[in-house]
A and B are shown apart, each in its own frame.
Chain A
Amino acid sequence: MKHEPIPSPAGDTREHLIVIGNGMAGCRAVEELLARDAGRYRVTIVGAEPLVNYNRIMLSPVLAGEKTFDDIVLNGLDWYADNAITLLSGDPVVAIDRAARTVTSRSGLTLAYDRLLIATGSDPFMIPVPGNDLPGVISFRDMNDVDVMLAAASRGGSAVVIGGGLLGLEAAHGLTLRGMKVTVLHIMPTLMERQLDEAAGWLLKTALEARGQTILTGADTAEIVGAGRVAAVRLKDGTAIPADLVVMAVGIRPAVALARAAGLDVGRGIRVDDHMVTSDPAILAVGECVEHDGQVYGLVAPLWDMCRALADGLVGAPSGYRPAPTSTKLKVAGLDVFSAGDFSGGDGAEDIVLRDASRGIYKRVVVKDDRIVGAVLYGDTADGNWYFDLLRKGESVGDIRDALIFGQAFARGGAAADPKAAVAALSDTAEICGCNGVTKGQVVSCIARGAHSLDAVRATCKASASCGSCTGLVETLLALTLGDEVEAGAKTMCKCTSFGHDDVRREIVAQDMRSIPEVMQKLHWSTPDGCSSCRPALNYYLLCALPGDYVDDQQSRFVNERMHANIQKDGTYSVVPRMWGGITSPKELRAIADVVEKFNAPMVKVTGGQRLDIFGIRKEDLPAVWADLNAAGMVSGHAYGKSLRTVKTCVGSEWCRFGTQDSTGLGVKLERATWGSWMPHKFKIAVSGCPRNCAEATIKDFGVVCVDSGYELHVGGNGGIKVRATDLLCKVATEAEAMEMCAAFIQLYREEARYLERTAPWIERVGLAYIQSRLLPDDDARAALAHRFFHSQSFSQEDPWAARVAGEEREIHAPMARFQPVGEMA
């Protein structure tokens, strides 16, 4: 179908500008042009949507019922009429003929242009899973999508939103307000990961869950199911979530089909220069459909800058587009989320973090060379624009650095810019500790009465004892009241927190905290994601507090526990299979010998813990080595873990002329009962058959020395850096009692010792009498401890090697890619 171009109106000799796309960038470009030189071009706008120009970003409030379509119209029909713009709406352009300089629309109209502006925006990305084209599966891009959602919501039922970014969360919010039961599926571990850090993402998730949404992170969609209409979404892990409506908000792709078909230079978007001119000088492009200097865009602020540069070029006063940092806000009523610039930290960058758990606030400003380079705000975004302004202007914040995080009012408050002076200026009735309602006057008088350290203040008037957000204020008050006499308190866990290990453990249990980001938020961590000291400790404390519930964070584990083998100085690993109680068999020995030969292990050695250690295994070969050992019935010996290591035994009554009890048998039973458990530090057990003590039970964490009348149970020994002989805990008559005592002792250690504190220093710190008071007089209390140990064991006694052999975490053993300088990438 070939139509003749529609001729220009008689007598109008102006150049004809055709705009493809009646959206935000296309119309803004025309507005900019009109503002510069209203009469210069004859303008025609061709739009696919059957509507006038509206504010796309306000579709979210329309969905949520806060606005109507009329409220969000940017340019009504009168604007087109007043400016003599021809609008052809509901009729998309289907072809561009660059040689003839015409465009053709779906209805068959052919229009001739002198200048063409492509502003086709983006296409929503539909993940390529079966069922993604079923009725009831839609995107969130235009007014039509909103109408479909509103119609679905009017019937009630469940909605699944795929995508936990800005768009997805706004869709989920709107649908929730419209009465649907909403589940958000997000493939990444935290929400809005491109705009928010983990801490803010966690707060957001918690807040949305409190509003009744179900948020599944790490959720990978496999399929959308339904007969003729969507019925459910199935995840790769098999979970099926019923759905009457599925909204896909997983991302957008620049709409380039038209430009590509016309032979323009197209990368991810339509390539333009600084003046928004494409590879054809007669054709311009603007908005989300373009690629400028390798970048594509998904927010309006940069598009406005593009429109200015474009209009300047069209009227012969070229200025050129320069990308600038962007900021984002989530448009969900009552949830204040703001992010701007680059908050990835990096070199020389310093994080200033303020957390206020009782008010649900997290603020993080990233400063580099005295300039703000990024910010993430949650809960209180009032200063977002101020930070963003400082960021864009690149203003030095050196002189207000200390007060920066408290916001513009405080930092710009003249004398108050010195936090010390600000605290001194507070009245006596000013509240210092919100959690415990403690005023400045009360803190000062408690210091005056002898509380000369942070701990002492926490213990006497409770200020800063709960969430710790006022720790800085209390420390300032100590300094103001005492000058140099402030006493250093107990050691904090690390530089990321003002709390010690015991405080953190207590609060995790008291406040029922369930994840590392939650602990960091509620206890006011001063860094965004902790450090290599606190992360492993928090991971252990949570694991201990929530057996079976807590999802272990692999990235918070030291390499040996992540790889389930011991790293060596050359980067290879050593592998130690368990040999229960030091006993082995021809089958096991043969399997070990075979592994040594098959994988060319340079050494195999008898360890000091009565078993064999295979050295020099490459990370890539570990799963294969384990598979061979598993096949002979052997499991991980945890020679790498803060966990049960070995149970050394001697031959005992079965063979030895002095043996009083079956020490070998008891050792094997103890090892079978206690292996796999995660502990504050490594834990070693030994059982000797008589007081000659050939298994060296009196330098073990838990040692049993068999005697004629029963079993002497010893605790707190250490043969390492500082040798310590055990203390005698008690004597029992039967194996069963010895087993129960061992379990109860381990659980007490697991629940109360500090991370990386072995039993020897722990007992020196708390005293043997304390341990005895918890384990001996009260049978029920001891049984309860043992019960908690076995409950937690029910989740941890699975061979981690077998899991890896079966494919779990397969990728961490394999390189991501291989590079051969000659043959290039393999």
Chain B
Amino acid sequence: MTGEWLDIGWVAEIPVRGSRTVQVEGGDDIAVFRTGENRVFALLDRCPHKHGRLSQGIVHGGAVACPLHNWRISLTTGEALGEDKGCTPVVPVKISGGRVLICRASTLKAAA
């Protein structure tokens, strides 16, 4: 399987307003989020502040609150919202027939 996209599973496997992770050998995990509106996003599972696991945060609107010090990170751009400054790499996501596909190149970059 060497397309541009990696099939990681069903949308339904991610809890609404929650997240799951994809383990990347030799690199940071990818956090895959599903919002209250059923949109799916993926970010590197690493807060720009002090590397908190964003996958463990509270998802609200289009953002996630980091579990360590409550920075809010935009799920679309990976940028910290409000007063805080910083950015987490975004991994493009595509949904096809209920399956979640994430961008292979970005995932490889995460592993690097």
Contact = CB atoms under 8 A, between A and B. Distances in A.
Contact of B6 (A194, A528, A825): A825
B61 A528 contact: yes
A294 B95 CA distance: 11
B53 A535 contact: no
Central interface residue in A268, A344, A535, by most chain B CB within 10 Å: A344
Given A346-B76, A347-B76, A535 B22 contact: no
A347 B41 CA distance: 12
Contact of A824 (B2, B23, B29): B2
A343 B37 contact: yes
B43 interface: no
Central interface residue in A343, A558, A571, A822, by most chain B CB within 10 Å: A571
B13 A555 contact: no
Nearest to A620: B23
Contacts of A815: 20-23, 29
Contact of A346 (B9, B15, B51, B75): B75
B111 A555 contact: no
A187 B38 CA distance: 14
B32 A816 contact: yes
Given A197-B36, A816-B22, A820-B25, A189 B62 contact: no
Interface in A674-717: none
Contacts of B32: 816
A558 B58 contact: yes
A751 interface: no
Given A811-B20, A821-B26, A825-B6, A347 B62 contact: yes
Contact of A345 (B37, B50, B53, B67): B37
A500 B30 CA distance: 38
Given A529-B17, A563-B56, A567-B67, A194 B38 contact: yes
Interface in A520-539: 527-532, 535-536
Contact of A821 (B16, B25, B62): B25
A555 B67 contact: no
Contacts of A346: 39, 62, 74-76
Contacts of B65: 531-532
Interface in A562-613: 562-563, 567, 569-571
Contacts of B37: 197, 343-345, 528
A816 B22 CA distance: 6
Nearest to A560: B67
Contacts of A188: 16
B70 to A, nearest CB: 7
A817 B74 contact: no
A657 interface: no
Contacts of A197: 36-37
Interface in A162-208: 187-189, 193-194, 197-198
Contacts of A535: 58, 60
A819 B111 contact: yes
A555 B17 contact: yes
A239 interface: no
Contacts of B25: 818-822
A656 interface: no
Contact of A193 (B38, B74, B76, B108): B38
Nearest to B68: A569
Given A347-B77, A558-B58, A567-B53, A816 B9 contact: yes
Interface in B42-88: 50-53, 56-62, 65, 67-68, 70, 72, 74-77, 79
B62 A349 contact: yes
A42 B16 CA distance: 53
Contacts of B67: 558-560, 567
A654 B44 CA distance: 56
Contacts of A811: 13, 15, 20
Contact of A825 (B1, B20, B36, B58): B1
Contact of A816 (B21, B68, B97): B21
A351 interface: yes
A816 B25 CA distance: 14
Nearest to A294: B96
B97 A268 contact: yes
Contacts of A555: 15-18, 58-59
A344 B9 contact: no
Contacts of A187: 12
B39 A344 contact: yes
Interface string A341-375: 00111110101000000000000000000000000
Interface in A775-826: 811-812, 815-822, 824-825
A824 B108 CA distance: 10
Given A346-B39, A347-B74, A821-B24, A816 B108 contact: no
A821 B112 CA distance: 9
A556 interface: yes
B14 A816 contact: yes
A554 interface: yes
Nearest to B77: A347
B17 A559 contact: no
B6 A345 contact: no
A821 B108 contact: yes
Interface in A535-562: 535-536, 554-560, 562
A816 B17 contact: no
A532 B70 contact: yes
Given A347-B77, A821-B111, A554 B15 contact: yes
A527 B37 CA distance: 13
Nearest to B28: A571
A535 B9 CA distance: 28
B98 to A, nearest CB: 9
A294 B5 CA distance: 14
Nearest to B9: A816
Nearest to A347: B76
Contacts of B30: 819
Contacts of A528: 36-37, 61
A778 to B, nearest CB: 40
A530 B12 CA distance: 22
Contacts of B21: 815-816
Nearest to A201: B36
B36 A817 contact: no
A374 to B, nearest CB: 9
B7 to A, nearest CB: 7
Nearest to B112: A821
A610 B67 CA distance: 26
Contacts of B29: 815
Contacts of B15: 554-555, 811-812
Central interface residue in A294, A346, A820, by most chain B CB within 10 Å: A346
Contacts of B60: 527, 529-532, 535
Nearest to A351: B61
Contact of B22 (A193, A563, A818, A824): A818
10 contacts: A347-B62, A347-B77, A535-B60, A555-B15, A570-B51, A571-B52, A815-B23, A816-B22, A818-B23, A824-B2
Q: Which 8 residue pairs across A and B have the least CB separation, nearest first?
A: A532-B65, A816-B20, A555-B17, A817-B8, A559-B67, A347-B76, A559-B56, A344-B39
Given A530-B60, A531-B61, 9 more contacts: A344-B35, A346-B74, A347-B79, A529-B61, A532-B58, A567-B67, A817-B9, A819-B111, A821-B26
Interface of A: 187-189, 193-194, 197-198, 268, 294, 343-347, 349, 351, 527-532, 535-536, 554-560, 562-563, 567, 569-571, 811-812, 815-822, 824-825
